[in-house]
Amino acid sequence: MAFAAMLAGCKKVEVKYTYSPTEPRAGQLVKFSNQSSAGESWNWDFGDNNYSVLKNPSHTFKKPGTYIVTLTVDSAKYNTCSHVVTVYDTIPTFVVSTDSICHYTDVTLTANVYNPFGYTLLYEWTLPDDCVITSGSTTSKAIVAHFKSYGKDQNDSVQIGLTITQNGKTFNRIRKFIVHKTVAPSIIMQKTDKTVLCQHMINGYIEDPTAGDSEDATMLELSSDTAIVFNGVTFLASQMQDIFPGLSIKRLQIDVVTQKWYITTDEGLFVANFDGQHVMSIDTDAIGAICIDNTRNRLYWASNSGLKAMPLVKSKNNQFATTPELYNTISDIDRIVVNNNLK
């Protein structure tokens, strides 16, 4: 009778549970949901020497493999439920620093690999031909790059691949992206044969010159670097002897902010104060055309080597330490203007 009473006091519990995701990967959080019919205490054995007494625990399996996960309710041997949980290898991939890749705009590509045991990792990026890497290399974990041609005239689709070798295993990841067209200001140039060219300036990068359009041609017609109107007075390049005695000036521009002259002569490009003092040579290779861009604080000029640029001079005595940049190698530029209309 006593034994029968003891059996009557032991309640059989229907033990069951589910888990999500059903195909977990190493390093991924797995949530266990206790769906037992009753119970006041719970003991979980995850099969990897880790345990829990929570009713609905979460657990991360660090290694791929097969694990027997057992739930015991009320510490009774007959109140148990076990499932075989298969944990898969984490698939290496890569992430992108922005959701919107734009033409000629740097983007960071970073390999994303779960590597808890410090295996040696090898990387090999596969990039389109026009992709320019500005930081890192094709074997780096992370690279910074931009696209020169894709997205230039329209939105374009590109494909980027990454091969990762981890502990002797090779993983290939290929992703497709849209490179969006970017609108930007541009430098407009006219050659001595009247050909009009356009060179876009995008996020600090300078595109290769392309053919200009009618808007560019009109801007060139309206510009001048031989006659400048400042404070109601017209200054002609051919009549500047009072300010610059002894100099035969070909072209001139004035920075209206600092009131400095930029002039080209047979001896090259010079900067001077408004009263003609502190004349300093900038480039003996300059041949004529000048353009000032106060929006970007830049000076552009034509030279025998091509189009050059540098920041505008700010010092009172016109000293500067900047080395001019060469934007292109067009040696017969006759006129220059900046188009700040984004297109």
pLDDT at 11: 57
Note whether 203 and 310 are same-domain residues.
yes
Residue 113 pLDDT more than 90?
Answer: no
Predicted local confidence at residue 8, as pLDDT: 39
Q: Of 118 and 170, which is predicted with more confidence?
A: 170
Q: Are 104 and 242 part of one and the same domain?
A: no
For residue 7, pLDDT over 50 is answered with: no
- 235-266 pLDDT, tens digit per residue, is 999 999 889 988 899 999 999 999 999 999 99
Domain tally, the chain: 3
- Are 65 and 196 within one domain? no
Asked if residue 270 and residue 131 are part of one domain, the reply reads no
Domain closes at, from 155, 180, 205: 180
pLDDT of residue 323: 92
In this structure, the answer to whether residues 327 and 196 fall within a common structural domain is yes
Percent of the chain with pLDDT over 90: 68
Same domain, yes or no, for 196 and 221? yes
Q: Which domain holds residue 219?
A: 186-339
Residue 153: CATH number of its domain: 2.60.40.10
Residues 300, 328 share a domain: yes
Residues 138 and 247 in one domain: no
pLDDT at 301 over 80: yes
Contacts of the segment 108-113: beta carbons below 8 A, 24+ positions apart: 108/142, 108/143, 108/144, 109/142, 109/143, 109/144, 109/145, 109/160, 109/162, 110/141, 110/142, 111/141, 111/142, 111/162, 111/164, 113/164, 113/166
Question: Do residues 127 and 271 both lie within one domain?
Answer: no
**Same structural domain, 253 and 135:** no
Q: For 53-88, how does the pLDDT look when each residue is reduced to its tens digit (9 = 90+)?
A: 999 999 999 888 889 999 999 988 788 999 999 888
- Last residue of some domain: 87, 103, 134? 87
- pLDDT (0 to 100) of residue 204: 78
Residue 111 confidence (pLDDT) above 70? yes
Tokens 């999500």 correspond to: 20
Strand 169-180, strand 101-102: pairing: parallel
| Contact assessment for residue 39 and residue 16, using Cβ atoms and an 8 Å cutoff | no
- Pair 193, 161 in one domain: no
Q: In terms of domains, do 237 and 117 share one?
A: no
Lowest-pLDDT range of 5-14, 239-248, 297-306, 318-327: 5-14
pLDDT of residue 250: 94
- Residue ending a domain, among 180, 207, 234, is 180
**Model's pTM, two decimal places?**
0.64
